[in-house]
Structures are given as C-alpha cells and as structure tokens.
Amino acid sequence: MKIAVLPGDGIGTEIVAEAVKVLNALDLKFELETALVGGAAFEAYGHPLPEATLKLAKEADAVLFGAVGDWKYDTLDRHLRPEQAILGLRKNLGLFANLRPAICYEQLVGASSLKAELIADLDILIIRELTGDIYFGQPRGRRIATDGHFPGAEEAFDTMRYSRPEIERIAHVAFQAARKRSKRVTSVDKANVLETFQFWKDVVTEVGRQYPDVALDHMYVDNAAMQLVRAPKKFDVVVTGNMFGDILSDEAAMLTGSIGMLPSASLNASNQGLFEPSHGSAPDIAGKGIANPLATILSAAMMLRYSLNQEAAAQRIEAAVKSVLAQGLRTADIFSPGTTQVSTLEMGAAVVAAL
C-alpha cells in the first residue's frame, strides 16, 4: 500500500504528522513517501504542484493531503497559487467523485446550530460529482475581460451538461458506498425544470437496477436543502451533480458544527483517491500546536476504506476517535466547559493510545 503524503502549508504539516502516527500504529505495512505541495512547493521549486510531487501522487495507491494556502500568496498569478495544486491533482488523477461524510458525534452535539435531537448520531454521506455540470460547460474560459468581469455586456450564460458515462460512474460510486452502509441512496436533481437532470434521474435509475439490494429514491434539490435541516437523519447516501453537491455538501457539513472534525475523499475510476480534511490551512493558528488533527485522522480512515480496502482498520480508527471524545479530550476548536483541552500532539497521541 503506497501512500503519497502531501502535508502542504499552515496547519497541514501539524495535522498530517498526527495522521501518519495513527497509520503507523496499525499493524499494516505501508510505504509512505512525503513531498512538498502548495505554498511550500512554490517556495522550494517555484510551482505549487512540481512534477516530482505529481509523479509521486500518480504512482501511489492513495494521497493523504493536509491543506494548502496562505494569504501571502494572494497577489501571485492565479496559476501559481497554492490552491492550484488541488485542481491539478484532481485533473491529473481523474478524481470525479467527492465523498463528504457528515457525522455528528454524540459528545459534540452542542456545537451544531440545530437542536440536539435532530443531529445526535447523524451519519450521512454526500457524494458530489466533480468533473461535469454547469461548472465545466460552455462558455467557460471565454470571458471577454481579463479581470473576469463583463464590462457593458447585456447577458451572460453557462451551459449545464452531463454525459451518460459521467452519470453512470458517479451512480456506481454511490450504490457501492451504500452497500457498505445502510443500503439507501437518495439522488438529488431538478428534473422538474432541467433537461440535464431528467437525464440524470433516468440514468441513475437504470444503474440502480444493477443494485437490487439498495433502495433508491429521488428528491428535488430545493426539497433536499430543506430536508437536510428538517430531518437530516432520514438520509443515508446522497448523490448529486457538481453544483448541487457543492452547496448541499457544505450545508450537510455544517450540520455537525465543527470544521476540525470533517474528513473528505475524492476518488477516480480505479478507486485511487485523495483524502483530506474539509478545512483549509488555517494560517491564523498555524505553528501554535492547537489545530484539531481529527479531520485528517478520519480522512486516513476513509483512505483505508475506499482506496486500500482495509475496512476493519478504518473502523478501528473511527472507534478510537469516538473513544478519545468520550474521554472528554478536546482541541481548542471543540472545547466546552467540563472537557479537557489538549494540543494537536496530545490529541494524536490519545488516538494512538486508544487504538
């Protein structure tokens, strides 16, 4: 199991170091190789995604990614900014499926803006298609002004488009993920208004016939947005297009209230994937030793589940995280009175001890 470890910038190095300790504490054999990415790579090689880093990522079974970015790079040309590294990795590895679980741990229900009974034990998985939809339709890239605006124009438009293979492959990811969970998929569309999403619905339904053990239902996106805050626990796996997924995955993530807790995965057709916390490089707290490493540790668990086929090890890590929360250990971002505040290093060590 070959893993490319790309810590990146800011808190990236601190949180990835803890995830690596957790991986090394499992009785599994990994080949871990670290490389620079983002601002750190720009400083060393003049590019946020150097050839050597890309080669390492391509040859690995999975990429464990920290975070990239810092305000000091905001004046750089767009193609040299740290965030371009993620887009470059997505494109070059063909990552088309973004998996974002929204899990609410019993001990952290107070962090959510919703009532405790609505989100206690919430465990849903939002699957967003990453390569198609209106974000990549015409007239992308045909802007008439270099600053991205349209001086004097009377209209602008974007084209929503999905091909059959694009929908089929994301539907397969959803049904296969559901098989590892409660065997329910909700496909979110806007088939009542958009031709693209009537087509989406038809293709997802066809693919669903290959998974008779998984229940499929369909929901319009406006209703899904409402149901996510009304009764989120009714969902299991939600699959949707790039734009609806962009919005719904952020909505679902915030149901749990704690950004330092949320892992994510981006997969390609051969289940090779990039695994990273949903948050950024947090330059405001970098170097202070207070960042929460749990989102990255949980991303490593997703890596074991989805790319390395080590479900038991993934569950062991998730159980260890639950156990440290039950012990009352909290980094500053999830601290509440009556719990014990710990550093990034102490949190990592506690997960290793719980394993």
Instruction: Give the binding site for ligand NAD (CB under 6 A).
Output: 11, 15, 67-70, 83, 86, 259-260, 276, 279-285, 291-292, 295, 333
Q: Which of 21, 45, 123, 135 is catalytic?
A: 135
Exposure class string for 296-318: b at 16+ Cβ within 10 A, else e: bbbbbbbbbbbbbebeebbebbb
Q: Which of 162, 190, 201, 211 is catalytic?
A: 190
186's tokens:
């909700």
Q: Which of 55, 72, 217, 222 is catalytic?
A: 222
Minimum Å gap between C-beta 294 and ligand NAD is 8
Residue 105 is a catalytic residue: no
Minimum Å gap between C-beta 351 and ligand NAD is 14
Minimum Å gap between C-beta 287 and ligand NAD is 12
CB 17, CB 7: distance < 8 Å: yes
Nearest to 256 by CA among 105, 98, 100: 105
Is the four-CA dihedral 177, 66, 18, 342 of positive or negative sign? negative
Q: Which of 2, 91, 250, 288 is catalytic?
A: 250
Residue 77 is a catalytic residue: no
Our CB check for ligand NAD shows the closer of 69 and 232 to be 69
Our CB check for ligand NAD shows the closer of 8 and 232 to be 8
Minimum Å gap between C-beta 153 and ligand NAD is 29
d(CA 335, CA 329): 8
Residue 222 is a catalytic residue: yes
- Please, what is the Cα angle at 344 between 339 and 348, to 5 degrees? 90
10's tokens:
């800011």
Q: Which of 123, 202, 246, 333 is catalytic?
A: 246
Our CB check for ligand NAD shows the closer of 208 and 245 to be 245
Using the structure block, give the residue that is written with the tokens 């997924």.
245
Residue 246 is a catalytic residue: yes
Our CB check for ligand NAD shows the closer of 168 and 333 to be 333
Minimum Å gap between C-beta 241 and ligand NAD is 21
Residue 70 is a catalytic residue: no
Our CB check for ligand NAD shows the closer of 110 and 139 to be 110
Is the four-CA dihedral 226, 129, 59, 80 of positive or negative sign? negative
- List residues with catalytic annotation: 135, 190, 222, 246, 250
